[in-house]
């Protein structure tokens, strides 16, 4: 797989605890990035041929990787638009919407974090 992995502009972590040395100043709310993708007829044909030999179906692996990168990129943009400087509790979810169509959602909680020594927020 030659496609580069997307690196968000702000930190995205999978726990709800901010990294050591940081604390939550304010919780801005849920944020997400969604993409719906399908494989082309040619890609479906090649993937079908790969199933005959068993093992990894690289056409679908590439589609999943591209979809996750796109969803993560959109999550990043949504969180920044909300004013966040970090996303906590990030997750991926996926589902089939129709034949050969897949939805990938990246979601989490948009927050503003500050160094641990700064005063607490007066309102959240």
The DSSP secondary structure of 78-109, one letter per residue, reads HHHHHT-SEEEEEEEEEEEEETTEEEEEEEEE
pTM comes to 0.78
Looking at residue 53, its pLDDT comes to: 67
CA distances from 13 to 48, 49, 52, 98 (A): 36, 38, 38, 31
Looking at residue 64, its pLDDT comes to: 85
Mean pLDDT estimate for the chain: 83
> Domain residues of the chain, as ranges?
22-38+66-115
DSSP sequence for 9-56: SS-B-SSSSPPTTEEEEEEEEEEEEEEEEE--HHHHHHHHHHHHH-S-
Confirm or reject CATH 3.30.460.10 for domain 22-38+66-115, answering yes or no.
no
Look up residue 75 and give its DSSP letter: H
Q: Which of 19-28, 53-62, 81-90, 102-111 has the lowest mean pLDDT?
A: 53-62
């Amino acid at each position: 797989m030659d496609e580069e992995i997307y690196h968000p502009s702000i930190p995205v972590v999978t726990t709800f605890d901010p990294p050591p040395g940081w604390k939550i100043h304010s919780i801005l709310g849920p944020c997400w990035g969604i993409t719906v993708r399908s494989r082309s007829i040619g890609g479906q044909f090649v993937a079908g041929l790969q199933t005959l030999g068993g093992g990894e179906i690289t056409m679908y692996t590439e589609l999943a990787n591209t979809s996750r990168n796109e969803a993560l990129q959109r999550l990043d943009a949504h969180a920044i638009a909300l004013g966040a400087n970090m996303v906590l509790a990030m997750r991926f979810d996926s589902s089939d919407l129709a034949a050969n169509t897949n939805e990938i959602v990246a979601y989490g909680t948009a927050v503003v974090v500050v160094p641990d020594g700064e005063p607490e927020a007066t309102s959240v």
